[in-house]
Amino acid sequence: MTPLLFGPPSRQLFGMLHPARGGDQAGRAVLMCPPFGQEAIRSHRLFSVLADQLARSGISVLRLDYHGTGDSPGDDADGEFDGWRRDVCTAHEELRRRTGAARIVWFGARLGASLAVLAARSGRCDPARLVLWDPIVSGRDYLQSLRKRHVEAMERSFCIPDPAWRKQLATNPHAFTDELLGFAVSPTLLLQLRNLDADALALTALHDTIVLADDDDAKVRHWRDLQTARAMALKHSSFRHSLQWTSEPQPDATLVPADALQRLTTCLT
Amino acid sequence: MNGIQEIPLAFGPDRSLLGVLSTPARGESTPIACLMLNAGATHRVGPGRIHVKLARQLAERGVSSLRMDLSGFGDSGVAQGAEHARVQAVRDLQAAMDQVESMLGIRRFVVIGLRSGAANALALAVADSRVVALSMFDGFAFPSRRSLWERRARQVLAAVGNPGLVGKTARWLSPKAGTPSAQSAQSAHSDDCVSSDADRALFRRSMLQLSEREIAVMLTYSGSAHVVDHDRDQLGALAHEPFMRNIDYRFLPDVGGNLTSIASQQSFMAAVTDWVLRVASQRAPAASEPLPRRLVPVERVMLRTA
């Protein structure tokens, strides 16, 4: 794999290119859109191993860090949807330039899946397919869940946690919204998260879409039904896995869950 | 990122190690560079991206650094040999120092290890004379029984009306908690914050050796270890050993052990940056030693990684 910086000088992005080795899938490539914040940290090794497996089967892969995330330039608080959507398209063009792939599949997880949908709608790039893993289709629910996990992490972080944290979480909807699990959140991003819902994530007719999610996820089911009613080419694939998105990565078998790796490899090859 | 240059690198014997080099873009660079390695299984950016933030803060003040993934973590490949993980970690870190030396001409290093990464950082400092300073955050801890009891007593007193303490209290009230076997299985940043007896012996030998070499050492402990610190409590009986006299010991009760809050991250970075700058000014190379080279052009580096 090759680490690289790409994109315009004013907005360079960090990426990992996994060039195809062997196999017979010339002309195909995968762009990986990672989740946000701690979820990106948790799934980083899984994405790295998955990309390597795809490369071995002949599919080139580019993984990117959005501006202000991972190793890309920028601060946490610079992150917001419009810039990140453009980053996805910049990465798409870079992948095409480096591999010549005619057919590029976008694989997005969690908020990365939502960003993939938003970026595909921009008309600036032409993914052949979106593969969306546990997409965030309700920004409000997502925010609430991250706030809760943030307070739990803070409590684990101190031998005597401050009891006021839980009270603030329960009574003040603005508490713990400017930073989540170690990452600063700008007012712009906060507003965009609050406005993210099924209506904001309308698919376009120019690509097909596969959704990997738990059948019990009612919000994803609702969003899926909306897209199907609009006659979008969407296929749902039931996927229950052992990865806990906001947990801390541990140096054991849970780091790269075998069930998730196998299923994703199958889905993307 | 005004004034900073960052270069992604593939390096090591088979170029299977991944890292990002941060340097001041202009002006003089200090003759000392920092190495940042994985904390647990978190990849090179560190918990809450702390290594990225720290690297950029250091580069703004003239200090270069390499944050990297050890073999089998992050984006680095799995080691081909059958070395013990600690031995492999030291080899990987030595490859990182070789890389920095080849690009910047720097031959003195500060190694920064967070939590379980502290053990690898310590091993490198013992094994390689290029390391002139070592910083460990919530690494080895040997609090006395008295300190542990004080901690638990404070937790009991605070438990009423504090749901965040319920889980912790249940864990240490369990019949297995507090037994030697339970303690030895725990890492220094777990609930009980106690390293094993074997770790204590290793730590003592290592610190003695580092003292002989006059390596600067900073040990930082967070609010996950305790709420108070009377006198280097996390070192227990080792606190007053002669070879520990020059250790820079910091207890930061407002800093959370997993650096979840931005305030915690800022306090941690301020402490480390301050200390690194002090070390850099005190450990300047002798006049006869060549100055660090300027960074090789990015184009050449990119060719190397392509």
B225 touching chain A per CB within 8 A: yes
Question: In this predicted structure, which of A147-161, B114-128, B177-191, B288-302 has the lowest mean pLDDT?
Answer: B177-191
Does the structure show a pLDDT above 60 at B191? no
Write down the mean pLDDT value for chain B: 87
> In which residue are the tokens 């095409």 written?
A96
- Which of the 8 DSSP states describes residue A215? T
Does the structure show a pLDDT above 50 at B169? yes
- Mean per-residue pLDDT, A21-48: 91
Chain B neighbors of A182, CB-CB under 8 A:
47-50, 258-262, 265
**Number of other residues whose CB lies within 10 A of the CB of residue B173:** 11
List, as one string, the DSSP characters of B136-164.
EES------HHHHHHHHHHHHHHHTT-GG
Confidence of residue B282 (pLDDT cuts 50, 70, 90): confident
- Mean per-residue pLDDT, A161-186: 96
Confidence of residue B185 (pLDDT cuts 50, 70, 90): very low
- Mean per-residue pLDDT, B111-134: 97
Encode pLDDT of B223-263 as tens digits: 999 999 999 999 999 999 999 989 999 999 999 999 999 99
pLDDT of residue B179: 45
B155 touching chain A per CB within 8 A: yes
Query: In whole angstroms, how far apart are CA B24 and each of A115, A231, A250, B7, B109?
Result: 33, 54, 33, 11, 16
Q: Which residue has the higher pLDDT, B289 or B266?
A: B266
Q: Which residue has the higher pLDDT, B17 or B197?
A: B17
pLDDT of residue A70: 98
> In which residue are the tokens 């806990």 written?
A244
Tell me the shortest Cα–Cα distance from B5 to chain A, in angstroms: 10
Q: How far apart are CA B301 and CA B306, in angstroms?
A: 9
Backbone angles phi and psi of B83, in degrees to 5: -70, 155
Encode pLDDT of A224-247 as tens digits: 999 999 999 999 999 999 999 999
B-contacting residues in A 162-221 (Cβ below 8 Å): 162-163, 165-166, 179, 181-184
Q: Which amino acid is at B36?
A: M
Closest CB to B10: pick one of A2, A71, A250: A2
B21 Cβ contact list (under 8 Å, min separation 6): B6, B7, B9, B64, B65, B66, B99, B100, B103
Residue B173 token pair: 């009230």
Confidence of residue B26 (pLDDT cuts 50, 70, 90): confident
pLDDT of residue A13: 98
Closest CB to A45: pick one of B41, B164, B224: B41
pLDDT of residue B173: 64
Encode pLDDT of A70-88 as tens digits: 999 999 999 999 999 999 9
Does the structure show a pLDDT above 80 at A162? yes
Confidence of residue B297 (pLDDT cuts 50, 70, 90): very low
Strand B32-36 to B64-69 pairing: parallel
pLDDT of residue B291: 56
* Beta strand ranges found along B225-274 (DSSP E): 248-252
Residue B43 token pair: 């990849």
- Mean per-residue pLDDT, A45-67: 97
CATH class of residue range B4-143+196-300: alpha beta
Task: Enter the ipTM.
Answer: 0.96
pLDDT of residue A48: 98
Q: How far apart are CA B239 and CA B233, in angstroms?
A: 7
pLDDT of residue B296: 43
B280 contacts B63 by C-beta, under 8 angstroms = yes
Does the structure show a pLDDT above 70 at B171? no
Task: Give a three-class secondary structure readout of B34-52.
Answer: EEECCCCCCCCCCHHHHHH
pLDDT of residue B298: 36
Confidence of residue B293 (pLDDT cuts 50, 70, 90): low
- Which of the 8 DSSP states describes residue B244? G
Chain B neighbors of A18, CB-CB under 8 A:
none
- Mean per-residue pLDDT, A34-44: 98
B259 touching chain A per CB within 8 A: yes
pLDDT of residue B163: 83
Domains in chain B: boundaries: 4-143+196-300, 146-190
Residue A33 token pair: 């859109």
pLDDT of residue B193: 59
